[in-house]
Structure formats: C-alpha cells, structure tokens
Structure 1
Amino acid sequence: MPKLSIITIVYNNARDIERTIQSVINQTYKKIEYIVIDGASTDGTLEIVNRYQDQISKIVSEPDKGIYDAMNKGLALATGDYILFMNSGDEIYDHQTVEAVFASADWADIYYGETEMYNDNWESLGKRRHEAPEEFDWKSFKYGMSISHQAIYIKKSITVPYDLQYKYSADIDWIIKAAKKASNTVNVHRYVAKYLVGGMSKKKHRESLKERFRIFTKYYGLIPNLFNHFIIACNLALYFVKHRRTND
C-alpha cells in the first residue's frame, strides 16, 4: 500500500478550511500523511487547524512568498510515495476516494480523475466542461488544463519544486514536468475532487492566461501553441452558441 502525502495550503480561510480537513482525515484509506501549510493567518484559521492537530501529521504556520512558495514547503516536508495537493476550500470527493484511486492499478506514476466544480455558496456546478482525457501524457494540456490540480496523484520521485517565476500558473508547469517523466498514467474513471471555483488565478485572470501561454509555448512551441489557441477559441465559441440555444 503506497503512502500518500496530502498537502493543504491555506491563508485566512476560516470559512472553508474545516471542510477540506474533514475530507482528508475521514478517508477510509489510512496510509496518509497530512501536511497543512498556513501562511500565518490572522482570521482564526490556525485555531481551526489546531483542533485537528492529532490527525494532522505536520502543521506549519509562517509567512510565505505566495501560494507556490507555500506548496514547495509542503512538498519538501512530504515523505509519501505520492503527492496530492488539496488546498483550502477544495475537498476529496468522498470518503472512499483515495482507497478507490490506489485500487484502480498498482504503482502508476500518475493517477487522475474527474472534478466536480462548486460555486462560492458550495452549490454544484457539475462536471468540468473539459473532461479528463481518456489517456494522459505531457502533451495532453496543449488545448488547456484538462485535469484539475486537485484531481491528480503524482509519484513523488518524478516531482520537482514549483517554478517560482510563475505566480499564477506554476501548477501547469509542475504537472507537465512530472508527466514528461511518467511511464504509466491511470485514469481512475471517477470523480476524485470537489473544486471551489475562484482563487488567485481567477482574480488575476489576464496575468494567469499570459503565464499559461508562456508555459505552453515553452513545451509545445510558439506556432503550434498559436494554432492550439485558435482551436480552443473555436471550441469555446461553439460551446457558448450551443448553450445559448439550449437556454433559449
């Protein structure tokens, strides 16, 4: 049974942190190392985290240089065979999720699944518009990030620290780097995460899109990336036209 390190990053999110913690500590799979990295919250978040200190392996609370710096702290502390980031506000899909993921195949380099999206009132928005690909490799993101960060379990031995030159989209770069090293990936064909829509990349949407374009260009080349973005734009237009007709 592989050991899974689950890392939660949080800063001033007393409203949502308890949901995330409970989704981790209530897993039926017990070989879990749970790490919480708090950015020196001032709103009572740390007090909530400390209520569960007996069920959390490591708690760190100190200022950081941003979300990916905090994630690197968690990654450096992790001792598990696999890494999963489940940041504050998000949840593992149900109590049997981790057990089901590892039961799907033995020792894959990457396991991944589907994500259900929720709004700020924790109301389901349904499945992601882009379904997780049936097969996944490092080229699978050329039309956009089709797997949520919360829905991918990566063997620690193929991970590297997040590249801090990216402030909003370093997770994409991180996953692609790992995927380039992966020899086998497994689609578990089930929901594995609940994702709270929003976050920094939404608030800084333009900057996030610029970073994504730079990352995709680095891996796929400028001309192919421009062509891929043209395909994305066409698909978006068709999607909105279709749903507008449906709503009418």
Structure 2
Amino acid sequence: MFQPRLSVITIVYNNVHDIERTVLSVLGQTYSNIEYIVIDGASTDGTLEVLKKYESRISKLVSEKDKGIYDAMNKGLALAEGDYVLFMNSGDEIYAADTVEKIFASEPDGDIYYGETEMYDENWKSLGQRRHKAPENFTWRDFKFGMSISHQAIYIRRSLTEPYDLDYKLSSDIDWILKAAKRSKKIVNTRMYVAKYLVGGMSKKRHRQSLIERFHIFSKHYGLIPNLFNHGIIAAKLAAYYVKHKRTND
C-alpha cells in the first residue's frame, strides 16, 4: 500500500472563530501517517488557547510574530519532514474524514495530487463549487486563464517545493504551485472534492493588489504578450459568466 507521510501545515493569526474547525478536520483524518504543523502569528484573541487544547496531537506548534502570511507558510515548510505537503490554513477544512486516505489510494507515487474545492461563506453555508473548475489533466500551463486549483486542494511532493517568494504579499501561492508543477512528472486528478474553502480571505479584501501580483506572476511564467492575450479571454469569460448568472437571478 502507498502510505507516504503527509505534512499538513496550518497558519493562523487571531482567528479564534474558525481555527478549531480546521484543526479538527486534520486531526479527524482516518489516514494515520500525518505530521501536523501549526504556525500561529502570536495571536491575542484566544486562538492560542484553542490550539493548546490539541497540542498533544499537533506535531509541531509554533507561536511567534511573523512578517506576513507567506513568511509564516515558509516557517511551516521549513519544519515539514513529510513526503508531501498540504497547506490547510485557518478557516478551511479537509473535505471529509477519509479524504487523505482516498487521495493516496487513488494512484501511487504522484508528484502532485489535486481535486475540487467547495466554497463556504462566513456562516459556513455552502456556496457550491468554485467558478474555476479543476482541469481534467493539470499542467503548469493550465493557470494561464486563472488559478484553476485552489491552494487547499493540492498535495505536492515536498522535494519539488521551494520557499514562497516574499516579494508577493497576496498571490505567492500561485507562483509556488507553478514552480512545483513545472518540475512534476506525474500529476494525479483525484476527481473528487478534497477541500472546503472559507471565502473572503486577504486576497479578496485587497483584490486590486492581488490581481496586479497575479498579472506579474503569469507574465513571468507565460510571457508578457501571451499573458495580455490570455487576460483578454479571461475578461470575456468573466463578463459572460456574470451576464449568464444575472439572467438566472432575474
């Protein structure tokens, strides 16, 4: 049986409202070969007290100030010892108790495993599938029209990863996934929901900055001229999507 060690990394700062859901979704997995790492940014709202309730079941718990989300994620990545890494940050959840078990049972020895994400609002009410559906066969070229796989829904062989680029404050996860995907030889579509995602994160709150960063990242990986062309297609698809849904709601 293929049972690699998975390092699940959660970063959190002052999110006492949601952190326990995330922790329990990891600790409740039927798959036993999991290293769980939690990086707390020196929370002051009771988050750390919640984490300490589960400290005996958390492999590594760090609570200290950081320089932002990707600095915290780099701390977790540096501590990880598993064969694969998954970032399941505060507010998000692994989809079901047997999700990790099913992922590694789907096919052995993949470089990347991925699946679909279900969206949830702040009241933890389902909003359905992401607008960007995961591609049937994923390669690094598939992000050219947008991030078609969410960060919470991708398991990457740790040896293929590198630290997040701290020059990006909101979209470094896209750059990180693309770099790993370029090095991957075997990418497995699990064809199932693997994550629950809480909408309204920092990239949504600072949407303009996030879009500018994404444009630079896509230009770096795909070239400026192709990226300009691709963004024209993105704009057309987005307009068609909103027109369709406006008619549906009218």
Normalized against structure 1, the TM-score is what? 0.99
Residue 230 (structure 1) aligns with: 232
CA distance in structure 2 between the aligned counterparts of 1:34 and 1:60, rounded to whole angstroms? 11
CA distance in structure 1 between the aligned counterparts of 2:129 and 2:205, rounded to whole angstroms? 22
Residue 113 (structure 2) aligns with: 111
Residue 199 (structure 2) aligns with: 197
- Secondary structure of the residue that 2:141 maps to in structure 1? coil
CA distance in structure 2 between the aligned counterparts of 1:204 and 1:244, rounded to whole angstroms? 25
Residue 100 (structure 2) aligns with: 98
CA distance in structure 2 between the aligned counterparts of 1:203 and 1:165, rounded to whole angstroms? 19
CA distance in structure 1 between the aligned counterparts of 2:211 and 2:246, rounded to whole angstroms? 25
CA distance in structure 2 between the aligned counterparts of 1:201 and 1:80, rounded to whole angstroms? 28
CA distance in structure 1 between the aligned counterparts of 2:76 and 2:200, rounded to whole angstroms? 22
- Secondary structure of the residue that 2:144 maps to in structure 1? coil
- What is the Cα deviation at residue 241 of structure 1? 1.1
Q: Deviations over 1:126-179 (max 9, x none)?
A: 001111000111111000000000000000000000000000100000000000
Residue 33 (structure 1) aligns with: 35
CA distance in structure 2 between the aligned counterparts of 1:96 and 1:201, rounded to whole angstroms? 30
One-letter amino acid of the structure 1 residue matched with residue 81 of structure 2:
T
- What is the Cα deviation at residue 48 of structure 1? 0.2
CA distance in structure 2 between the aligned counterparts of 1:97 and 1:40, rounded to whole angstroms? 30
Residue 20 (structure 1) aligns with: 22
The root-mean-square deviation of aligned C-alpha atoms, in Å, is 0.5
- Secondary structure of the residue that 2:39 maps to in structure 1? strand
One-letter amino acid of the structure 2 residue matched with residue 81 of structure 1:
D
Residue 71 (structure 1) aligns with: 73
Matched, 1:164 2:166: yes
Which residues of 2 match residues 49-68 of structure 1 at below 5 A? 49-68=51-70
Matched, 1:151 2:157: no
Q: Deviations over 1:106-130 (max 9, x none)?
A: 0100000000000111110000111
One-letter amino acid of the structure 2 residue matched with residue 185 of structure 1:
I
After superposing the two structures, state which structure 1 stretch, 198-207 or 14-23, moved more. Answer: 198-207
One-letter amino acid of the structure 1 residue matched with residue 192 of structure 2:
R
Detail structure 1 runs of 4+ shifted over 3 Å in the superposition.
Answer: none
Q: Deviations over 1:175-208 (max 9, x none)?
A: 0000000001000000000000011111111000
Q: Deviations over 1:25-49 (max 9, x none)?
A: 0000000000000000000100000
Normalized against structure 2, the TM-score is what? 0.99
CA distance in structure 1 between the aligned counterparts of 2:51 and 2:226, rounded to whole angstroms? 45
Instruction: Give ranges in structure 2 of 5+ residues lacking alignment.
Output: none
Which residues of 2 match residues 39-50 of structure 1 at below 5 A? 39-50=41-52
- Secondary structure of the residue that 1:139 maps to in structure 2? helix
Residue 186 (structure 2) aligns with: 184
CA distance in structure 1 between the aligned counterparts of 2:236 and 2:51, rounded to whole angstroms? 45
CA distance in structure 1 between the aligned counterparts of 2:85 and 2:134, rounded to whole angstroms? 19
One-letter amino acid of the structure 2 residue matched with residue 208 of structure 1:
S
CA distance in structure 1 between the aligned counterparts of 2:71 and 2:245, rounded to whole angstroms? 39
CA distance in structure 1 between the aligned counterparts of 2:176 and 2:66, rounded to whole angstroms? 19
CA distance in structure 1 between the aligned counterparts of 2:58 and 2:99, rounded to whole angstroms? 19
- What is the Cα deviation at residue 54 of structure 1? 1.1
CA distance in structure 1 between the aligned counterparts of 2:88 and 2:110, rounded to whole angstroms? 20
- What is the Cα deviation at residue 244 of structure 1? 1.4
